[in-house]
Amino acid sequence: MAICLRLRSCRAAGLLRPRPSQARRLAGGLSGLSPALLRTDSFVGGRWLPAAATFPVYDPASGAAMASVADCGASEARAAVRVAHEAFCSWRGVSAKERSSLLRKWYDLMMQNKDDLAKIITAESGKPLKEAQGEILYSANFLEWFSEEARRIYGDIISTPAKERRALVLKQPLGVAAVITPWNFPSAMITRKVGAALAAGCTVVVKPAEDTPFSALALAQLSNQAGIPSGVYNVIPCSRTKAKEVGEVLCTDPLVSKISFTGSTATGKVLLHHAASTVKRVSMELGGLAPFIVFDSANVDQAVAGAMASKFRNAGQTCVCANRFLVQKGIHDSFVKKFAEAIQKSLRIGSGFEEGTTQGPLINEKAVEKVEKQVSDAVSKGATVVTGGKRHPYGRNFFEPTLLSNVTRDMLCSREETFGPLAPVIKFDTEEEAIAVANAAEVGLAGYFYSRDPAQIWRVAEQLEVGMVGVNEGLISSVECPFGGVKQSGLGREGSKYGIDEYLEVKYVCYGGL
């Protein structure tokens, strides 16, 4: 739990003195949007502050540079932490009702600006506009949810064997939370963490992904309009070059009490190592390798619809995307045929701003190369390309939705998270075999299966080693439900009534002499 220390003001120390504004070039999908929401400086202590350097942010659809954004380093990160800590000293004392009201105002402003916020997501991530609009609703709903949960932080009274004593349990905010978010959901991954943190009484320093900083900065503008006090919500964008040093500062600074990270398992392990030096509370939502199992008893059409939703949302770039399709031999050929037909009929590649686009670009060329590598590896080991299998001529970051059959467990696509539009199908014989294959992974975030056998449904749901299970359902995320994984997919839960506990400390008070 953070202790409020009287720190010399960062502003007085000159750490946050703004430099003369630098010209920022806005291009592509960002042009024409509300200037108030298009920010390129860091946001610390309620002020927009440029950094000594900037870094370019690219449109993944065209490859063109859209704007240059403040490139914060270790010194800016430390300054932001100090400001957040000072703000915590007062924010922790704000009533739950008032925190609830401010979060609700922030939610209302998101809804009022939902169209522009969605366009920002599409511009920086390439996500089809319809999906971006869905993300904004999902993102805003976390603020609404936690505005309500803020007033439901309850303690306990415990009976003791001693008549002259009373035992109380209090829940108190941890302190400053460092929030490190990914590019694939640049708005929702922030509000899911920040909504809970602010509702609990914590303050935050957000480091958004270098590919998608604009959503975090737009949220900062709206938080300011909502009346969130200065220093409670801070954003420090940085380039990939400086991400390591900024991450290390956030994980080792003794004024930070909590780390919340969404990203790869490899990066999560590095952050855990840094956080261990000061024994911080940590939440990690890390990589997945989601199995999607189709049993012989399944309704094939429903399974195909679920597979399409689970696999190809955001061009396969979600942590809960189906990564391995395990299909029982009796239904295998029918499923593969109908899955291929659905891919060819329903998916349309293009810019996220184009009407009818369902598949936008991958975030960068490195992501495309990973998909290419997995397809090449699978084919070299005997897999068959049913449809797709190569880059799309629309642009260098576009890859055809791809379906592979005759896939085996030794192929890269069976062992590594893809994060792209690749669906490998593995044929299996028995339920036991499917569960063994599904559970062989070192990670366990989400899993899906289709069956109409009630007894089988209970067996498989209980035996899958994942944090979330979709039964006859391909889309499982909801603000009301706990999100998180087991094994090397992470620690803790986000969203739901459990999400706020990640930002609270439990304190036992023994009141004697009565």
**Residues belonging to the active site:** 285
Is residue 268 within 8 A of residue 261, CB to CB? The reply is yes
What is the C-alpha separation between 436 and 453, in angstroms, rounded? 19
Taking alpha carbons only, the member of 438, 484, 489, 440 closest to residue 324 is: 438
Task: Say if CB 195 and CB 146 are below 8 A apart.
Answer: yes
Q: Determine the length of the chain.
A: 514
Rounded Cα distance, 214 and 141, in Å? 20
Alpha-carbon dihedral 398, 401, 403, 408, rounded to 10 degrees:
40
d(CA 109, CA 469): 33
Tokens of 247: 């991450």
Sequence-ordered strand ranges (E) for 152-302:
156-158, 166-173, 176-180, 203-207, 233-235, 256-262, 281-285, 290-294
Q: Which amino acid is at 390?
A: K
Structural tokens at position 79: 């300054």
Q: Crossing angle for the helix pair 431-439 and 454-463, nearest 10 degrees?
A: 20
Query: Using CA atoms, how far apart are residues 272 and 424, in angstroms rounded to an integer?
Result: 32
